[in-house]
Amino acid sequence: GAGVSQSPSNKVTEKGKDVELRCDPISGHTALYWYRQSLGQGLEFLIYFQGNSAPDKSGLPSDRFSAERTGGSVSTLTIQRTQQEDSAVYLCASTVSSGVRLGTDTQYFGPGTRLTVL
């Protein structure tokens, strides 16, 4: 049984470029989360998907950030016109959701994408 996978594992980009980060959740997991961790900070919630819809986009830091999920599976996080403050590790997690956001469900994390904006 494959776990959560993310690609690329590392991404170095120039300021102003767009980047796409991909997450493949565990098969059958309906809930998918995106987080980021900047240096020395805790995990920052970005967005949550239940199926293909995103009931909670409250964590997206600006309109340069967007995410979509297709087929109830793969999700893509897109950052447009990247800035240096976007440099962070971006983590994806999935969970078998009982309909209650996280609750006591265990989140299964991917290995993350380390984004460096020069």
Partner 1 sequence: ILNVEQSPQSLHVQEGDSTNFTCSFPSSNFYALHWYRWETAKSPEALFVMTLNGDEKKKGRISATLNTKEGYSYLYIKGSQPEDSATYLCAFMDSNYQLIWGAGTKLIIKP
Using CB under 8 A, list all residues that contact partner 1: 3-4, 35, 40-45, 91, 93, 100-104, 106-112
CA distances from 86 to 31, 38, 116 (A): 24, 8, 8
- Token pair for residue 2? 């494959």
Residue 3 or 8: which CB sits closer to partner 1? 3
Q: Which is nearer to partner 1, 64 or 108 (CB)?
A: 108
- Minimum CB separation of residue 104 from partner 1 in Å reads 5
CA distance 13 to 17: 7
**Closest approach of partner 1 to the CB of residue 4, in Å:** 7
Question: Can you read off the two tokens belonging to residue 7?
Answer: 């690609």
